[in-house]
């Protein structure tokens, strides 16, 4: 009898092209409400064109992929949803796992040679994909299955009042400037997180800065806000990195680097002083 291997080696069949450079931009789970198009480019020279035969009849496929931006894992994590409570990593969809494998069902819109046109997905640009399988509702869907702590948290969230998110004039001007000059817009995700729960939370990257001011990390950016009752007011946006980091040639590849330098030239002081 052959022994079970202690290590295995896998090669990506392809890479995802989503245009989402930072993890903050990728949804925690794909949402069908967003009419988005993403592309899976399969690697040439492996006869993958033939392997795609008969797949076009499926409206949905499973992607099995690698959280390649992560290097560490923890046995317990604080999931972004619900109270700041630790859960065993195997009871979560956390990207920080011993083998950082991701699993996502995505809409299959079209197949063009080695390119698969997909709907909304939660993968960042360049994520390696290891396998594709058809999603078969009769095998893969169990609507009555129990969902443990997630069900409990969802029940609490349904009862909890939603916060209303507003923008102060400075924050509006900054958000509009980012869209106009850099096509950067993280407001939808920011609003989703703050409407759900704006209290300090490590995984949601929310921390208190002073008695009445909080801060949330938004990928390469951050936003300052205050909470009054169930009203959340985003007072200002800011670059996530200080200028000395952004200009440091040793730190190549900081996300949205040029946009942050330009932003700090327009708003050098005010946001951090709010």
Ligand X SMILES: C[S@@+](CC[C@H](N)C(=O)[O-])C[C@H]1O[C@@H](n2cnc3c(N)ncnc32)[C@H](O)[C@@H]1O
Cβ pair 105, 135 in contact under 8 A? yes
Cβ pair 194, 162 in contact under 8 A? no
User: Closer CB to ligand X, residue 192 or residue 212?
Assistant: 192
Please tell me whether residue 70 binds ligand X under the rule CB under 6 A.
yes
Please tell me whether residue 102 binds ligand X under the rule CB under 6 A.
yes
Contacts of 184 (CB under 8 A, 6+ apart): 178, 221, 256, 259
- Residue 264 tokens read as 């700090």
- Residue 236 tokens read as 């200002």
Cβ pair 88, 79 in contact under 8 A? no
Q: Which stretch binds ligand X (CB under 6 A): 4-12, 68-76, 141-149, 240-248?
A: 68-76
φ/ψ region of 104 (left if φ > 0, alpha if ψ in -120 to 50, else beta) reads beta
CB of 5 to ligand X, least distance (A): 23
Q: Work out the number of other CB atoms within 10 angstroms of the CB of residue 112.
A: 9
Number of residues that bind ligand X (CB under 6 A): 18
Cβ pair 111, 42 in contact under 8 A? no
User: Closer CB to ligand X, residue 104 or residue 260?
Assistant: 104
Please tell me whether residue 27 binds ligand X under the rule CB under 6 A.
yes
Residues in 117-136 that interact with ligand X by CB under 6 A:
122-124, 127
Tell me if residue 166 falls in helix, strand or coil. strand
Give just the sign of the alpha carbon dihedral 110, 121, 259, 197: positive
Task: Provide the mask over 244-273, with x wherever binding to ligand X is found by CB under 6 A and - wherever it is not.
Answer: ------------------------------
Cβ pair 89, 78 in contact under 8 A? no
Task: Provide the mask over 157-176, with x wherever binding to ligand X is found by CB under 6 A and - wherever it is not.
Answer: --------------------
CB of 26 to ligand X, least distance (A): 4
Q: Which stretch binds ligand X (CB under 6 A): 36-44, 102-110, 172-180, 191-199?
A: 102-110
Please tell me whether residue 210 binds ligand X under the rule CB under 6 A.
no
Give just the sign of the alpha carbon dihedral 270, 258, 124, 240: negative
Task: Pick one of 37, 60, 68, 115: the residue that binds ligand X (CB under 6 A).
Answer: 68
Please tell me whether residue 26 binds ligand X under the rule CB under 6 A.
yes
User: Closer CB to ligand X, residue 4 or residue 99?
Assistant: 99
Tell me if residue 236 falls in helix, strand or coil. strand
Please tell me whether residue 190 binds ligand X under the rule CB under 6 A.
no
Please tell me whether residue 91 binds ligand X under the rule CB under 6 A.
no
Q: Contact positions toward ligand X, by CB under 6 A?
A: 23, 26-29, 67-70, 93, 95, 102-104, 122-124, 127
């Amino acid at each position: 009898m052959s022994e079970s291997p202690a290590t295995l080696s896998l090669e990506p069949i392809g890479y995802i092209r989503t245009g989402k450079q930072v993890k903050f931009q990728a949804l925690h789970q794909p949402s069908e409400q967003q009419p988005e198009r993403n592309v899976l480019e399969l690697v040439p020279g492996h006869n993958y064109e033939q392997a795609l035969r008969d797949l076009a009849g499926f409206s949905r496929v499973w992607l099995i992929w690698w959280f390649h931006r992560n290097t560490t894992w923890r046995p317990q994590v604080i999931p972004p949803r619900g109270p700041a409570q630790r859960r065993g990593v195997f009871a979560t969809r956390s990207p920080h796992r011993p083998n950082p494998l991701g699993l996502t069902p995505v809409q299959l819109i079209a197949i063009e040679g080695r390119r698969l046109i997909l709907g909304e997905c939660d993968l960042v640009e360049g994520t390696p994909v290891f396998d594709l399988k058809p999603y078969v509702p009769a095998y893969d869907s169990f609507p009555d299955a129990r969902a443990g702590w997630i069900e409990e948290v969802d029940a609490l969230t349904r009862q909890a009042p939603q916060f209303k998110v507003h923008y102060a004039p400075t924050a509006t001007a900054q958000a509009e400037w980012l869209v106009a000059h850099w096509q950067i817009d993280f407001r939808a995700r920011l609003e989703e997180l703050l409407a759900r729960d704006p209290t300090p939370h490590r995984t949601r990257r929310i921390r208190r800065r002073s008695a009445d001011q909080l801060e949330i990390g938004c990928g390469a950016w951050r936003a300052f806000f205050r909470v009054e009752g169930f009203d959340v007011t985003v007072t200002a946006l800011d670059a996530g990195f200080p200028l000395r980091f952004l200009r440091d040639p040793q730190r190549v590849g900081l996300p949205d680097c040029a946009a942050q330098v330009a932003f700090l030239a327009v708003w050098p002081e005010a946001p951090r002083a709010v």
